[in-house]
Each structure stands twice: as C-alpha cells, then as structure tokens.
Amino acid sequence: MKRLKQRLIYSIMVTFAIVTVLIIIYAFRHRDADDLVYLIFNSYALLAVLLSFLFVLYWQRVRRKRMISEQKRLRHLVKNLTAPAMLWDDDLKSAELNEALMRAAELDPEEMPAPKQLIPQLFGREHIDDEAIREIVLSKNQEYVFPVGEDRQRSMVWNTSAVHTDEEGLTYFLSIGVDLENIRLMESELRSYSRRLAASENRNMLTMELTDIGILLIELHTHKLYPSEKLQRMIGLSGEHWTAKDLRSLVYPMDLALFDRHVKTIRNHVRDYMNTTQVLELRLSGADKRYRWYSYRFKALQVADGGVIIGGAVIDISKEKEKDAQIEQIAYEDAVTAIPNRNRLMNVGEELYLCTKELDVSYWVIVMDIDRFHLINDTCGYANGNELLKRFARALEKELTEGGFGARISGDNFALILHDTGDEKLPVTVVKRIQKKLAALAVGKFENRSLTCSAGYARMPHDGGSFEEVMERAEFALSTGKSVNGAVTGYTEQMHDTIIRESNIEKELRRAIEKNELVLYYQPKIALDSGAVIGLEALVRWKKPDGTMVPPEVFIPVAERTPLIMQITRFVIREACRQAKEWQKKGLPEIVMSVNMSGMDFYQDNVCNVVAGALKKNTLPPRFLEIELTESLALKDIDLTVSRMKQLRVLGVQIAMDDFGTGYSSLSYLRSLPFTMLKLDRSFVMHMADDLVVQEIVSSVVRIAKAKGIRTIAEGVETPQQAQQLRLLGCDYVQGYLYGKPMSAEDTEAFIRRNQTERKVY
C-alpha cells in the first residue's frame, strides 16, 4: 500500500516536471511572440521549477523525520530492555543490539561484525532468507544455539516480531531473547550455594535475582523450594522458601494431576531429569489471584556433597497460551454447552490414565445419556432441547471434584471423570444427584416431561488397558442398562465376558460368511387402506449348520464394528435383488424390496456401484429397490449423507428413514434429507395408545412427511387397535407381527399369493 502511494506521488511529480519542461520549450520557441504571452509562460515555468524544488525538499524532510522518529523510538525501546534484544531489518542492512545482548554474545562494540554476518550467526544459521525469517517469526520459544568467542556456544530463546516497515519497504524485526546461559550460569551458582549452605544457615545471602525471569531451586533432601524474589512477586507467594504443598495450593485444579506426577518423579526418579532440560507448563494463581500459565524449564544438578538439586527458570507464557486457547476453544469446546467436547475428553482422559499408573490413584469414568431426549427436541423444539443440554452441562460441572473433568461427547451423551476417593458408591451418588437436578428442570417449557438420565461407569485404570478401553466399558455398561430409564450401571467382569463372546462371534461370523450360512427372511409391508402387500423388508439371518437361527441383533452389532458388515450388506443387496426379480418373473405382483444399510456401508465410496451392479445383474428396475437407513446413521455426517442419498436417488432407488424417532433430532432433518419413505419406530406404536404426546408426534410427523411427498410406514404393529389408530392418524403403511413375521423365501411367496385373494383391513 505504502509503495503504491510512493509510486503515485512520483508519477505526479514526473508528470508535473514533464509539463513544466514542455511549457519552457514552448515559451522558448515563442520568445518572439507577443511579449505578454512570453512573460506569462516564463513566469509560470520559473514558478513551477521553484515549487517543484520546494516540494521535493519538503517531502524528503517529512519522510526522513517520520522514519527517524519511528526508528528512534524502536532503538530507544531496544536499548532500555533488560532482556537481550535487537532490532534488525529483512535486508540485513542494520542491526541494533542492546547491552544485555552484547554481553550475552560477548561482542565488542569496537569490532562488531556486519549485520549480514551477525544476524544469521545469532540465529545459529548460515544465512537468512525470507523463508528463514518466516520460521524465526513463527517459532516462539525455540532455542537457538550460536557460537561465542573462539570455541564456545550459547543458547537463546528468541521471540521475534515484525515491528515497522519504512518508506523504502524495509521491514524491521524486534527479537527479544531469554538467555538460557543464565540457567546454565546457575549451575555454578548452585554449586557455590550448596557449599555455602553447608557452611552457614544464612540463606539470605543467596541472591537469586539473576535475571527478570523467576528462578526456582528445589533442594531434594530437605524438600524445600527456594524461589527468587522475582518469582515470589510473579506469583504473589512470599517466603524465603516454600514447600511443594505451598506451591500445590496455587495450582489450577485441572493441572493438579500433572503437578503431582512431576513431584513424584522428582522425588523418586530424579536421575531421569539429569543432563536433559525438562519443561513443565501449568497454570498457577498469580499475584492478582488470576490463573496464569507458567513454564518451568529445569534440570537436575549434582552438587558438591553428592546430593541433587533441581534448578530452573520460570517464565510467564500466558500470552502464547492465550493464542493456543483460542484455537483450542474451537477444536475442543462443545458449541452448545460450552463445556469440553469428546476430543478434549480423550486427551485429558489419556493423560489422567498415565497419572493413575504413576501416582497409584484411580478415577471413575461415568457416561450419561438423557433418556428419550429426541422427544424433548420434537415436542419442545430444538432451541429448548439445546437449553436443556446447557442446563444439564451446568449440573454436571457442579459435581466435578478436584482434578475432575466433564464433557459432552455427542448429542445427549455426557461424560464425567471423577477422582476415586475409595467410596464405591460415589458414581451412583453423583449420578443420583444429577438425576435429581435434571428432574427439577421439568418446569416451565419442560412441564410434565419426565426428565431422567441413565448412566454407565467404569474404573480407571482397573477396568481397561487404556482410557479408550475404560470409556468403551463405561459405554457398554450404559447400553446394558438402557432398557430402564434412569438406570445407573457399573461395569462388571461378566460384561467383560460379553465382550469376549462378541469377539468369538466375530470369528465365527467370518467363517459363516465364507460357508454361505447367511440367509434372507422377508417381512411384508401392508397398505393400511387395502390390506395389500406393497413391499418386503429383507432381514438377514444366520442359519447355523445345526439348524439354529441366530437373530441379527446378536451378530449385526458385532459385524458393524468391523468391515464384515460390508460383506454382509453386499450379500443382502445381491440376494434381495435376485429374489425380487425371480418373483416378478413368476408373475407375482410388483412389490418394493427393502434392504437395511449400516453406517460403514453407506459411507463407503463404492456403495452406489454395489447397488447399481446388483440391479443390472438381475435386470431389476431401480424403483423396486428401497434402502433403509437409520436416523442416527443419516445424522453422522449430514453433508456426506445428503450427497450419497442424492447419488442413490439419481440411480432411481428409493430411500427410507428407518427407526425414525429413536435418534437425537428428527423433525428438523426431515426437511433437508431426500427420503421417499419414513419408518416410524416401534416405540411410537407401543406408546401410542396411552400417551397423548406420542400421538401428537405421530400425527405431526405424518403431516410434515405428507407435505413433502414422503410416505409413512409404522413398524412393530401387533394389535388391530394400533392399526386402526395409525390409519386415523394418516399413516400409509404398516409392518408388524399383526400381519406377518419375517419368514423364509418359500413362506413369503405363499404369503404374497394368499394376499392376492385374502386381505384383512383393520
């Protein structure tokens, strides 16, 4: 921008000069003309030359003045900094070093190297180009090693920022250093200190005010911490020496486990900290009683009497952490409740898991689920649903103990990590308190709602080899108790057996697929008004060689956790298409064949090819195939879901939303997803007779679906009353034991033939 302005001014001046020269030439040529014209031209030319001259002079002065004053200000700043600092430019034309830096780098003002040589040297590089400058500016707190004198080296942590650009476009950088040599200097200080300690009790003699960074020494055999005065001022804790407990009282609760872990290592394995510099970053309450981030860069040192002392520098790194925190907030905070999200939970959990091993402590991991939360979303609206989640998060936060942690892990799922105090009943007590608070929210817009939550819990490290495993087990416990609202279920060894059983199922299933032990059963879908079969749902069964049938609930969830599900789906699609075509060829009425698809299948890139291939191979027109997707699957990645569904719709295949109403949010998504059929979950049908709210939901869902041209089918219809009620509410089709259970291909064929003559309308 500045360069543009500069060019503009130059162009105006050049134009002005050219015009003036032209006028002078013109005036000279016409010097014999009328005296008056000649006089006017000459006067103008003289005036123009004079004005240009004055303008150039004035402009140069202003520019120089402005530049000098800004550079003066920066030089003054550098000179007055107590920390090593320098001001330099990107052409390496100038380098202004302050006294602290000259001292640290052992430079003689009389024999200063040229900036082109000096600057790269101070950053420990051979040369500096634009790329190097970019790295230097971006890397905060990076240690640079540069040569000092003939054969020594020195380390410095540089923080560099661009501070000024002059009129010529030169950019000036201000680099402020933390001289790590101070820490190394301390080593020799420490040696003499320990000698003096041995000789005298007068510790006041010790001056630790080496720099303007705080210094902390830890004397291992007395367990005493010696802070420099600067450090005492920094964190507002006075006293010639502290105990670890004094310092611990200032540590931010979330960082306590980390602090304890370091204290323990220092006490028991201090030799691990010999020879290498360690960095501990944590939050302490500062002098102003606000938590700030500090970095302690320390090392263990052998002292004269054979003992060991820890020594190092404390720097306030809050500013850098603030920037990190903004990024973290986006990545690690849940947008609705403003509490940590699953990513953050996993990070913290893994760290705490390590602590449990090292500190011999344990934690409870509790996962919670608000029961039938989708009903709140549907009946009270999305905004109120979010409001409830927020309030639930607040209730959760209140239960956090020291060093504990809470997060929202998905939709209506939350997790808590609590310090295990030895009280076996703690998880149940805490969850009961949360349940009580949740129940108390059933006022105002949540009036008459039964607000409950279920929970599952496991103990860490006892119940798993990693945090992830402990979480899985807590979730497993939650899922086993989920049939009862408000259940609080702890993970047990028996559940472990279930997990083992699942892994056996997986092995057996793999073999079963190879041996073609999977078969398809079909359940009819009936039109409520005519009683005619309009479709069939293909449901997979595992027929063991001894004739026993394994229901899909046993093996599908196991298969869904592995790529086996894709093999199963491929088989189901091919077999269902083949069967549908066979029945069409036999002259049976045209009916739509539905197949179920799992998340892993649906998100596979080649899913459309598999479907198109099966249709083509059997020459089945696409409109006779319907794919059932569950709502939770559809909501996992909404953008991908929409595009994948559109691809399938382009093929001409129909798409049904299965188990509608069991997921997290339903009505709102109905509008954006290209479904052709909506399958109301069995739970609606079950509760419809005596729950007015459910009736209201069914009728509004049907209404919205109709308005969008989507047909509706109800699952799990077992009684004539349910069928009648559904018809009154406007539902189109039904599926359930009232009409027919899933049956073999042979029985299905007979069922369809019978249906052509005998139909029942309830």
Contact partner at residue 194 from Mg ion, ligand C2E, none, CB < 5 to 8 Å by partner kind:
none
Using the contact rule CB under 6 A, the part of the chain among 73-81, 99-107, 225-233, 712-720 near ligand C2E is: 712-720
Q: Which residue is listed with tokens 């592995």?
A: 562
What's the count of helices (H) and strands (E) in the chain, helices before strands?
Answer: 27, 24
Q: Looking at 475, 715, 718, 746, which residue is catalytic?
A: 715
The first and second tokens of residue 420, run together, are 């295990």
CA 434/CA 371 separation, integer angstroms: 13
Q: Which of 396, 392, 384, 402 is nearest to 430 (CA)?
A: 396
Taking CB under 6 A as the rule, which mask of x and - marks residues 579-598 in contact with ligand C2E? -----------------xxx
Interactions with ligand C2E, residue window 622-681 (CB under 6 A): 628, 658-659
| Residues 427 and 418 sit within 8 Å (Cβ to Cβ) | yes
What is the Cα Rg of the chain in Å? 39
Q: Is 512 in the site for ligand C2E (CB under 6 A)?
A: no
Q: Is 716 in the site for ligand C2E (CB under 6 A)?
A: yes
Interactions with ligand C2E, residue window 423-482 (CB under 6 A): none
Q: By C-beta, is 17 or 686 nearer to ligand C2E?
A: 686
Options 378, 658, 710, 739; binder of Mg ion; rule CB under 5 A: 658
State the residue number with the nearest CB to ligand C2E: 736
Q: Is 628 in the site for Mg ion (CB under 5 A)?
A: yes
Tell the smallest beta-carbon distance from residue 718 to Mg ion (Å).
14
Q: Is 601 in the site for Mg ion (CB under 5 A)?
A: no
Tell the smallest beta-carbon distance from residue 564 to ligand C2E (Å).
11
CA 414/CA 397 separation, integer angstroms: 11
Q: Does the CA dihedral 345-346-348-350 come out positive or negative?
A: positive
Tell the smallest beta-carbon distance from residue 294 to ligand C2E (Å).
53
Q: Is 659 in the site for Mg ion (CB under 5 A)?
A: yes
**Which H helix or E strand runs over 265?**
helix 256-268
Interactions with ligand C2E, residue window 743-762 (CB under 6 A): none
What SS3 class is residue 759?
Answer: coil
Contact partner at residue 131 from Mg ion, ligand C2E, none, CB < 5 to 8 Å by partner kind:
none
CA 422 to chain centre: 33
Name the CA dihedral angle for 117, 121, 127, 133, rounded to a multiple of 10 degrees: -110
Q: Is 689 in the site for ligand C2E (CB under 6 A)?
A: no
Q: Is 626 in the site for Mg ion (CB under 5 A)?
A: no
Q: By C-beta, is 387 or 715 nearer to ligand C2E?
A: 715
Residue 357, φ and ψ in degrees, nearest 5: -70, -45
Q: By C-beta, is 282 or 597 nearer to Mg ion?
A: 597
Q: Is 599 in the site for ligand C2E (CB under 6 A)?
A: no
Q: Is 229 in the site for ligand C2E (CB under 6 A)?
A: no
Amino acid sitting at position 78: V
**Residue 756: Cβ within 10 Å count:** 11
The first and second tokens of residue 159, run together, are 């923080």
Taking CB under 5 A as the rule, which mask of x and - marks residues 710-729 in contact with Mg ion? -----x--------------
CA 609/CA 615 separation, integer angstroms: 10
CA 706/CA 305 separation, integer angstroms: 88
Could you tell me how many residues of this chain bind Mg ion (CB under 5 A)?
Answer: 5
Tell the smallest beta-carbon distance from residue 655 to Mg ion (Å).
12
- DSSP collapsed to 3 states, 285-354: ECCCCCEEEEEEEEEEEECCCCCEEEEEEEEECHHHHHHHHHHHHHHHECCCCCCECHHHHHHHHHHHHH
Q: Which of 649, 635, 633, 620 is nearest to 710 (CA)?
A: 649
Q: By C-beta, is 523 or 676 nearer to ligand C2E?
A: 523
Tell the smallest beta-carbon distance from residue 594 to Mg ion (Å).
7
Contact partner at residue 553 from Mg ion, ligand C2E, none, CB < 5 to 8 Å by partner kind:
ligand C2E
Options 514, 553, 639, 758; binder of ligand C2E; rule CB under 6 A: 553
Contact partner at residue 59 from Mg ion, ligand C2E, none, CB < 5 to 8 Å by partner kind:
none
Q: Is 311 in the site for ligand C2E (CB under 6 A)?
A: no
Contact partner at residue 150 from Mg ion, ligand C2E, none, CB < 5 to 8 Å by partner kind:
none
For 131-223, strand residue ranges (E) read 142-148, 152-165, 171-179, 214-219
| Residues 717 and 525 sit within 8 Å (Cβ to Cβ) | no
Q: How many C-alpha atoms does 435 have within 13 Å on its Cβ side?
A: 18
CA 167/CA 68 separation, integer angstroms: 11
Q: Is 540 in the site for ligand C2E (CB under 6 A)?
A: yes
CA 394/CA 544 separation, integer angstroms: 51
715 is catalytic: yes
Q: Is 387 in the site for Mg ion (CB under 5 A)?
A: no
* Interface residue list for ligand C2E (CB under 6 A): 523, 539-540, 551-553, 556, 569, 572, 596-598, 628, 658-659, 715-718, 735-737, 742
Report the catalytic residues: 715
* Interface residue list for Mg ion (CB under 5 A): 596, 628, 658-659, 715
